[in-house]
Each structure stands twice: as C-alpha cells, then as structure tokens.
Amino acid sequence: MCSPQESGMTALSARMLTRSRSLGPGAGPRGCREEPGPLRRREAAAEARKSHSPVKRPRKAQRLRVAYEGSDSEKGEGAEPLKVPVWEPQDWQQQLVNIRAMRNKKDAPVDHLGTEHCYDSSAPPKVRRYQVLLSLMLSSQTKDQVTAGAMQRLRARGLTVDSILQTDDATLGKLIYPVGFWRSKVKYIKQTSAILQQHYGGDIPASVAELVALPGVGPKMAHLAMAVAWGTVSGIAVDTHVHRIANRLRWTKKATKSPEETRAALEEWLPRELWHEINGLLVGFGQQTCLPVRPRCHTCLNQALCPAAQGL
C-alpha cells in the first residue's frame, strides 16, 4: 500500500501527464524531455532538409522583342526593324494592263526587227551572241528598220569576229551606213571585236560590268545582251522610249534626266518578274502610240490615267 504522501504524488503526476497530452507534443514543463512521436520526427527531418537545401534565386525576367515605330533613341535594344513600304506609282497596274491590251497585236517595228530578230539562229552559240551584241551597238540612236538592214548586209558576208577584223574600215562603214553615228560605230566595233578575240575567245562577256567596259557598249545594251544572248535578267533595259514613257506616266518618284537614272528608279519598285517584259512592251508602245512628238493620246486607253495627257 502507498502512503498518503506517495498517493498524493501519484495523483499530481497523473494530472500533469493529462495536461501535457491535452496541449499536444512538446507542451510539457520546461526542462522535461519526452520522446518525440512520429509526427514530430517528420517535422524535424523536414526542417533539417530545408536548412541544407540551396537557396533558390528569383528567375530572371525574359525580355520580349517587339518591333515598333519610333526614333533610334526610342527603339528597344534588339528590336527587329520594320519593313518600310515600297513606293509605287498610282494606278500603275491598270496602266500596265491597258498598255498590254494596246500591244496585243505585236505589230510594232521592235516586234519584228528588234535585237531578238537580227542574229542568225542557225549559227553556233558563240557567233549568235556576238551578232546580238553587234546589233545592239548599231541600234543606238537608230530606228529598228535601219539597224535590221545593216545587220542583214553584215550577215551576208559572214558576220563573225574574224570577218569583222578582216574588213577594212571603209567597207565596214558602207555596210552599216546609214545607222546613227556610223563613223564612231566603225571604230567601236573594230575595238570591241579585237578585245573579244584576245580576251574572250571570240565570245562576249557574261556580266554587265564586263559588257559596259567594252567600247561603244552602254548599260541598256548590256542588260539586253544579258537577256537575249545569255538568257539572264540582270536589270531593266531603258532606252529613250522607256525613259520618256516612264516620266509621262510618273513611274518615277521624281522626274529623271537620263535613261540610266530612270532604270535605277524603276528597279526600286517594279516587280522583278516584269523587268524582262517592260522594255519591248514600252518600246513598241512608244513607237506606235506614245510618240516623242504629238503622242496619240486620243487613242490611248490610259488617257484618263496618264498625268501627261491631262495637260494636252
């Protein structure tokens, strides 16, 4: 049997234990240690892992690249440049449709007597290319009918690099007369033929830069030679007809003073797939309708769309 003192101690211990359990784990008197339960062990392990895990740094915000309009100082770093709209003439597409309709018969001098019809199609490729270049050199400041006649006389004697070099200047002059500036062309033809024989094996160069370096060969001739002789569209061939009509239709941002200036202006906006067509189309149109003097505006389908026609 327990003494009254022992019984009192037992009751006190029982009350303390009951209070401790009601407060939950770890709520006993300070200095008293009791065995941790499963939940307490799991919490302690989690705290230990947390204290040893590496510190996570905040993620760096990603910069979005956005193209926008603004001055150079306002544009964000790495911004993609905006595409600048290409200038194009008003109503040019309808004007082109109308010109095609007026040229559908293909009955202008250029359609039958132009460069494409002046060479001997049965000759070897190298000879054909030489004849194309020669016809272009003769065509400068000369009507197609006169150029075609001169080429016919030259071909009748066998038109090759060697045959031209063996022909004296006086005879060559008589054969090409009355092409424009025929005396100068005799000299240019002889010089160019000698260069072709010495440096190109009797063939013609296959680049615009080399072609325009030849005596008597200009940019228009070079681009046409590339197209007709080599089958390569290197640029728009602009002669006096194309130069005149492009300015009348306002197909350039501002008035141009030379065919070469017109070529550069047209190539800025005219779709490349039209470059090969535009020369023959406008040359024939200029020969038949949009004449240098007294253009036939009353018969032109573009009369209402042509700025030049409004002042006539």
**Catalytic residue numbers, as ranges:** 220
Tokens of 176: 């090409």
Q: What's the one-letter identity of residue 293?
A: V
Q: Name the one residue in this structure whose structure tokens are 């100068």.
A: 184
> For residue 47, with 0-12 CB atoms within 10 Å meaning exposed, 13-18 middle and 19 or more buried, which class applies?
exposed
Task: Output phi, psi for 175, to 5 deg.
Answer: -70, -35
State how far the Cα of 185 lies from the Cα of 164, in Å rounded to an integer.
12
- Cis peptide upstream of residue 125 (ω within 30 degrees of 0): no
| Separation CA 232–CA 219 (nearest Å) | 14
